[in-house]
Amino acid sequence: MPHLNPQQTHRHQLRTAKEQRNHDAALAAFLGKKAEIDEMLARLAHLSDNHFNSHPDEINWGDVGTLEHYASLLKNITDNAFKEGEHVV
C-alpha cells in the first residue's frame, strides 16, 4: 500500500470540503430560484384561470395584444428550456 503524504491528504480534504460548501451553496441558490419560478407559474396559472382579470363583455384588441405579448415572452422561455425554435442546438 502506498504511503500518503500528510500534507497532500490535508490539502485534498480542504479542497473536498470547499467543493462541498460550494455545491451546497449552489444547490441552495438553485432551489431558491426554482421556488421563485414555481411562485410565478402559480400566479400566472391563477391569473389565467381568472381570464387575466378580463370580463368577456369587455374584451378588446388591446387585451388580445397584451396576451400576445405574454405568449411571446413565455414562448421564448419554453423554446430556451426545451431547446426549440431559435434555441435548437
Q: Which residues are CB-neighbours of 47 under 8 A, at least 6 positions away?
A: 53
For 51-78, what is each residue's pLDDT tens digit? 999 999 999 999 999 999 999 999 999 9
Q: How confident is the model at residue 42 (pLDDT cuts 50, 70, 90)?
A: very high
What is the average pLDDT value for the chain, to the nearest integer? 92
Q: What's the grid cell of residue 45?
A: 396559472
Contact status, residue 33 vs residue 26, Cβ threshold 8 Å: no
Fill in the DSSP letter of residue 50. Answer: T
Q: What's the grid cell of residue 51?
A: 381570464
Q: What's the grid cell of residue 6?
A: 500528510
Q: What's the grid cell of residue 23?
A: 455545491
Q: What's the grid cell of residue 10?
A: 490535508
- Which pLDDT does position 1 carry in this prediction? 59
What residue spans define the domains of the chain? 1-49, 56-89
Q: What's the grid cell of residue 37?
A: 419560478
